[in-house]
A and B are shown apart, each in its own frame.
Chain A
């Protein structure tokens, strides 16, 4: 089995900052915890498909522009 990190790069932090939102604002807008926003922005957690769509809709962006699906390999 190919060893990969199931973590995708994302534009959440950039989009949030462009709109002048705090992590708490975004968390309450999406119905998740502030810690989850921190984890997504820092690339430690990939959101589920429903949450990814909620994030994209929140920022009025297509999902594929919010998340980079290229997997990062960690060894072989």
Chain B
């Protein structure tokens, strides 16, 4: 298990970057005082992340980019749970927004992007038939087959059996 150099600072730096961008947006849309509060919160959260990444624990290894195979499974399961929670919350927000006759494009974007990411994830990480061409593989497959060749291995259809029988009879 090699630990990439400087990996411990990736999560805190990412948090600092994103948080500072939000603080900048707050400065543009609100007041400098609000932006200062947002930046202070960002720095505190980043420091907490930095502290956590140094700990000898699952969460420390995951945030510190040094997770082993079990911790990667833990991260995948936790990501799944987080995804379900985020999309569920977005659905609830969309329903509330629609009911109160307000704009609902924000939760709509979250659900749409999350759903697309899910499908892309299945296409990318799922197992595919090696003989299938790029046209016929993945979730976008229509079930059609390349000319004269089945995409699946050695699975005889009733039509094939009928043809073979008629050939042997003739």
Contact = CB atoms under 8 A, between A and B. Distances in A.
A45 B1 contact: no
Given A31-B1, A33-B1, A33-B61, A51 B69 contact: yes
A36 to B, nearest CB: 4
A51 B56 CA distance: 21
Interface string A36-73: 10010000010110010000000000000000000000
Contacts of A31: 1, 68
Contacts of B70: 32-33, 35-36, 39, 45, 47
Interface in B32-58: 56-58
Interface residues of A, number: 11
Contacts of A9: none
A34 interface: yes
A39 B71 CA distance: 11
B74 to A, nearest CB: 9
A67 to B, nearest CB: 15
A51 to B, nearest CB: 6
B68 A32 contact: yes
A36 B71 CA distance: 8
A66 to B, nearest CB: 17
Interface string B57-100: 11001000001111100000000000000000000000000000
Given A33-B1, A34-B56, 5 more contacts: A32-B1, A33-B61, A47-B70, A48-B69, A51-B69
27 contacts: A31-B1, A32-B1, A32-B68, A32-B69, A32-B70, A33-B1, A33-B56, A33-B58, A33-B61, A33-B67, A33-B68, A33-B70, A35-B57, A35-B58, A35-B61, A35-B70, A35-B71, A36-B68, A36-B69, A36-B70, A36-B71, A39-B70, A45-B70, A47-B69, A47-B70, A48-B69, A51-B69
Interface of B: 1, 56-58, 61, 67-71
